Chains A and B, each alone.
Chain A
Amino acid sequence: MDKFEPVIVAFCCHYCAYTAADMAGTQRVQYPPSVKVIRVPCAGKVDAIHIMKALEKGADGVMVGGCLEGDCHFREGNTRAAKRVDYVRKLLDDIGFEGERVEMFTASAGMGERFGQIATEFTEKILLLGPNPVKTATSEAAQRAAS
């Protein structure tokens, strides 16, 4: 029985969320290694399909990080990202997956501690939700095929 090590993809905008993640590193703020940060120029660059593909390929959770409300370097990217996250959450509910596996967060560049906190809380939520149902089903199928 393997221990569940979640894979969480965090799309983080260059100007704020990614810098906050970086700050967490330099400040030696602990956060779980399950969170894999991907830098994007703006949270608004993240489209619904990117989130879906991450989950389709087995990610257990996806976070999208943008600037604080009103502070987006590109004006509205964070707002658009938030709407797309809502859309994907609803789509996941429609197919019987937990919409909570996807979440939007905002931070400013200096918020290293906050990033660590968000990453930790989200990882805990994903641990409770369990592995991505796609992964479970695939491995069960593989086990059946092997036996």
Chain B
Amino acid sequence: MMKTESILEKILAAGHLAVTSECGPPRGALPDKVREKAEMLRGSVDGINVTDNQTAMVRMSSLAACIIIRQMGLNPILQMVSRDRNRLAMQSDIIGAYSFGIDTMLCLSGDHPRFGDHPMAANVHDIDSVQMLDMVRTMRDEGRFQGGEKLDGPPKMFIGAAANPFADPFELRVARLAKKVNAGVDFIQTQCIYNLDKFELWMQGVRDRGLDEKVAIMAGITPMKSVGMARYMKNKVPGMDVPDEIIKRMAGVPKEKQAEEGIKICVESIQRLKEVKGVRGFHIMAIEWEQKVPEIMERAGLLPRPQV
């Protein structure tokens, strides 16, 4: 029983492994940059996430970039953080997005303004990501606004959220997923996975609670470009788990071969994760490396994308 018209929902419902990737909008009114990046992903993925002021740096709005991508005949996924908007603005943007044919979205908290270019800004968080999931589900399934009033023309959004099996405390991370499932999430994209053992441990917990039957989990993957990038992600990015073996592997090849090694590791991870029960797809975050996504998809045996 389909909840929406979303391609992503159709692919998952048909039992295929779904694939999404990501586009970060530009820091300026530069629509062609959006078109360039999205075009690189045409045919390789089922949906394209558009980030929302990622790392708390002002960029073209996710909504605007999604519209541009939709008008290219591609499938954008609206990302919305609770950091920048109150619930009025959120609902307003969601209705607007659906009016442009954007039917898939992700509900997130968002990076703290401290990290970005406007640390002096008010940190809104009128509602959090869990409450946002509940709000969107209510709009879609009950045709009601969060405040309770009737909503004409309900947005039929396929609703996603993020999960981070690698953040602390680990013992909480399955319970947090359960909270999001209770709130109405349809699909999950995880933080990028390098520690496959830990991810499989989390998945075991997820399956033990039957959550894999209630939500489609897509494994997050980010290819490493260099050993420098690997070290940076290990040491400087909160909630990231990069095992030493990855660093060793990247460091073990000469500089000009590291990008290729990164892709290899990426493809190997995908192959291993395909075997993990409950993994229903992949979310490839190749930041500023979108042109590699088709190659990764090809080598991981995920092309051509199924037509539904």
Direct touching of A and B (C-beta under 8 Å):
no
